[in-house]
Amino acid sequence: MSMKRREFLKTTAGAAAALGTLRGRAWGQAKPVRIGYTLSATGPYSVGAGITQGPNYTLWQAQANAKGGLLVKGQGRRPIEFISIDDRSEHETAVRFYEKLATDDRVDLMLPPWGTAMNFAVAPVANKYGYPLLGPTAVSNKIKDLQLPYFYALLQQPDQIMGAFAGILKELKAQGKISKIAIAYVNDLFGIELNASAATALKEAGLEAVDVKSYPLGVKDLSPVLKGFKAAGVDAFVGLTYPPDNILATSQAKEVDWNPPVWLAAVGTAFPFYRDRFKGAEGVMGIAGWNPKVKSAGAKEYFDAHVKKHQKEPDRWASAFAYASLQILERCVAEVGLDRPKIKAMVDSTEFQTVAGPIRFVKGSNVSTPGMVGQWQKGEFEIVWPKGLATGTPVVPKPAWA
């Protein structure tokens, strides 16, 4: 009943808003700024797209339009209109739709799709038609090989992430809290690159993994790997994971009665969903990038607005970078208008202050955000490494699984 009413209210509100824009246009007022993107609503990429990117796009649009629209230099505020399509998690479909956005819809700006492979696929199109594309979910050492001047990667890359992992592990070992590290990685590009970076970073830190195991995408049973690590006396588990295998490994660790002092994993740990799934996930560590306690301007406001709009918290890694990419675009449009080469020039030469901290690009890579490690502590994913950015101190050994 209440659901229906809420739906009804939403529809009515939507209709009213539509009426509003219609009237706006009838009065000859601001033409909307048209922004195009595809996000996977179906297929395997839809999970990540729905957590990290989609909610931030719509939040930003709603916030800007509530203020009367996006401030465009010399033109005042213009409402934001999204032209968005489901790419079905298919690269060919995404490429085609970005061509459509560029040549048929002739949108003013473009936002990237979700995921590394998708960004690889559409980046050449954006580059060809001169659309700056600021990707918050592209992680790969191959990005720099692309050499596409209009493509920017906001997130920390494998070397930075693994550098942070090695940093905290080295300190914990020096404190005598751990001695044996083991790695399990998913054998696709992401896992393989992280694993290669891990080998280098661990070596530089004077550490060595006693065991390294790979497993395929869509794995259904990780207990053999975990039992093996447990039998070998491993006390620091490093999982270079995607969300489903991360959750599988976490639940199976408890089920095979293994609670290593350090449990450190890649994608998925920073999701509020993960915390809730494992009753707080107290003491679990993972890749971090942000939390509402960081000192960046607007961090807390962003967190609250996200919760208010979507009734769910942003994740503590890439979400804030998705929002930051929109803040960057917003500032550029305010200062140089919708002239895309000028936007590119500004992105290239400016250090931006965002909810995710300062961001500056050198050759398309964000050089301002270091790799970070976070740890769930009493409901918040505290940043525990590097020390300069820490919002908490690491708790090792982690408490027993809840």
Partner 1 sequence: MAGKLALVLLLMALIAAPEILSPYHRSLALAILADVALAVSWAFFSGPSRYLSLATGAFFGAGAYLTAIVGARVPWPLPVLGGALMGCAMALVVGALALRLRGPYFAVFTFGLAELAKHTLIWYETGVTGTVGRLLLAPPGPWTLYYTVLCLAGLAVVTALLLRRSRWGYALVGIGADEERAETLGIDTTRVKVGTFALSAAFMGAVGAAMAPRWTYLDPQVFNPFVSFQTVIMALLGGATTVAGPIVGAVFLGLASEILLLKFRYFYMLGLGLTLIVVVLALPSGLAGLASRLRPSPSPLPRPQP
Partner 2 sequence: MGLSPTLVVDIVVGGLITGGIYALVALGLNLQYGLMRVLNVAHGEFLMMGAYLTYSLHTAWGVNPLLTLLITGPASFGAGLVLHRLLYARVLAGGEAAEALESRSLLLSFGLLFVLQNAALLLWSADLKGYSYLAVPLRFLGSVFPANRLVAAAVALAVSLAFYVFLQRSFLGKAIRALMQDPEGAQLAGIDLSRVHGLCFGIGIAMSAVTGSLISMLFELTPFIGLPYTVTALVVVILGGLGNVVGSLLGGLILGLVETASVYLAASDIRLIASYAVLSLILILKPSGLFGR
Which residue in the set 21, 41, 177, 350 belongs to the binding site for partner 2 (CB under 8 A)? 41
Cβ nearer to partner 1, comparing 88 with 277: 88
Binder of partner 1 out of 88, 170, 293, 300 (CB under 8 A):
88
Q: Give the nearest distance from C-beta 205 to partner 2 in angstroms.
A: 26
399 makes contact with partner 2 (CB under 8 A):
no
Residue of the chain from 73, 96, 180, 254 that contacts partner 2 (CB under 8 A) = 254
Which C-beta is closer to partner 1: that of 95 or that of 332?
A: 95
Q: CB of 101: closest distance to partner 1 in angstroms?
A: 8
Question: Are 395 and 377 contacting, i.e. CB atoms less than 8 angstroms apart?
Answer: yes
Q: Which of 7, 104, 208, 255 binds partner 2 (CB under 8 A)?
A: 255
Radius of gyration of the chain (CA): 22
- Out of 92, 104, 204, 257, which residue is the one contacting partner 2 (CB under 8 A)? 257
Contact track, partner 2, 340-379, x by CB under 8 A: ----------------------------------------
Residue 153 C-beta: closest distance to partner 1, Å: 14
CA dist., res. 192 & res. 288, Å (int): 20
Binding mask 227-266 for partner 1 (x = CB under 8 A): ----------------------------------------
Which of these segments, 27-35, 62-70, 245-253, 297-305, binds partner 2 (CB under 8 A)?
245-253
Q: Is 212 in the site for partner 1 (CB under 8 A)?
A: no
Q: Count of residues for the chain?
A: 402
Q: Which tokens sit at 156?
A: 């920390």
Q: How near is the Cβ of 98 to partner 1 at its closest, in Å?
A: 9
**Considering CB under 8 A, how many residues would be counted as binding partner 2?**
36
Write out the chain in H/E/C secondary structure. Answer: CHHHHHHHHHHHHHHHHHHHHHHHHHCCCCCCEEEEEEECCCCCCHHHHHHHHHHHHHHHHHHHHHCCCEEECCCEEECEEEEEEECCCCHHHHHHHHHHHHHCCCCCEECCCCCHHHHHHHHHHHHHCCCCEEECCCCCCCHHHHCCCCEEECCCCHHHHHHHHHHHHHHHHHCCCCCCEEEEEECCHHHHHHHHHHHHHHHHCCCCEEEEEEECCCCCCCHHHHHHHHHCCCCEEEEECCHHHHHHHHHHHHHCCCCCCEEEECCCCCCHHHHHHCCCCCCCEEEECCCCCCCCCCHHHHHHHHHHHHCCCCCCCCHHHHHHHHHHHHHHHHHHCCCHHHHHHHHHHCEEEECCEEEEEECCEECCCCCEEEEEECCEEEEEECHHHCCCCCCCCCCCCC
Which neighbouring-strand residues pair with 109? 35
Q: What does 390 bind: partner 1, partner 2, none (CB cut-off 5 to 8 Å by kind)?
A: none
According to CB under 8 A, which one of 31, 77, 277, 310 is a site residue for partner 2?
277
User: Which two structure tokens, joined as six digits, stand for 256?
Assistant: 């095979």
Query: Going residue by residue from 123 to 162, which x/- string records binding to partner 1, judged by CB under 8 A?
Result: xx-----------------x--xxx---------------
Q: Is 7 a binder of partner 2 (CB under 8 A)?
A: no
170-199 residues in contact with partner 1 (CB under 8 A) are: 187-189, 192-193, 196
Question: Per CB under 8 A, does 147 bind partner 2?
Answer: no
Nearest to 189 by CA among 135, 138, 149, 225: 138
List of residues contacting partner 2 (CB under 8 A): 41-44, 46-47, 49-51, 187, 213-216, 218-225, 227, 243-244, 247-248, 251-252, 254-257, 273, 277-278
List of residues contacting partner 1 (CB under 8 A): 41-42, 84-86, 88, 91-93, 95-97, 99-100, 102-104, 116-117, 120-121, 123-124, 142, 145-147, 187-189, 192-193, 196, 214, 216
